[in-house]
Structure 1
């Protein structure tokens, strides 16, 4: 039976998780300081991006992040957008004129609808499935 040692060292510079690319690093930087909850999300994204994962973990993460419409992070964000845009759930909006409350709610619901569209989740789902060839 082969062991990790029979394949040579696995903790080499060429086997290291690379640093964040400019696009992801820039997106995370742009979100800095908005709210403590957003900072936690930023920290989670950074942790996920810079952690070494197995193929199984990667498959699960792809599905959990965006590849399982109705049960992934994108879906949760869509529901959160709708909630934050609804004066019934967000007391900060109750001081707005009724027209503005309704417009805000409608746009939040539209955002949730689009973020929950199965077509949006399909590529991440296919990336997840491609790992095992299913």
Structure 2
């Protein structure tokens, strides 16, 4: 008999609750619903080791950068650049440049292979199961 995992609480619950206030952004609620659904499925014991391993790799542990964290990093860079986000084009040029520089720094940091290493290793540990 397995011990059931705890319900979603703590930091994850707090973050998801805080992000629920952004549900007016198109599609944003799908992202937070996915996170909650995956966490709840794991807590109920509904994930297989293979599914868990795949989640870890697809979320943040892909060796070639094809994971959700990398996609989010590219989205941050895209949203912070006036060339790809016309909403920023009316800002003063110095603000546009500053936003773009921070977006590029976020992209650089969030795609650093070291950031993905632990999720990748967790996935690999499960795949040898």
Q: Does 1:62 align with 2:50?
A: no
**TM-score normalised to structure 1 length:** 0.84
Deviation digits for residues 50-81 of structure 1 (CA, Å, limit 9, x no counterpart): 11210000000000000015100000000000
Q: How far apart, CA to CA, are the structure 2 residues paired with 1:82 and 1:91?
A: 13
- CA deviation after TM superposition for structure 1 residue 39, in Å: 1.6
Shift of 1:17: 4.9
Name the residue aligned to 2:19: 31
RMSD: 1.7
Please say which structure displays the higher CA radius of gyration. Answer: 1
Give the Cα separation in 1 of the matches to 2:124 and 2:81: 36
Alignment of 1:104-115 (within 5 A): 104-115=99-110
Distance 2:5 2:37 in 1: 11
Tell me, what secondary structure is at the counterpart of 1:59?
helix
Query: Unmatched 5+ residue regions in structure 2?
Result: none
What's the CA shift for 1:22? Answer: 1.6
Does residue 1:43 correspond to 2:33, yes or no? yes
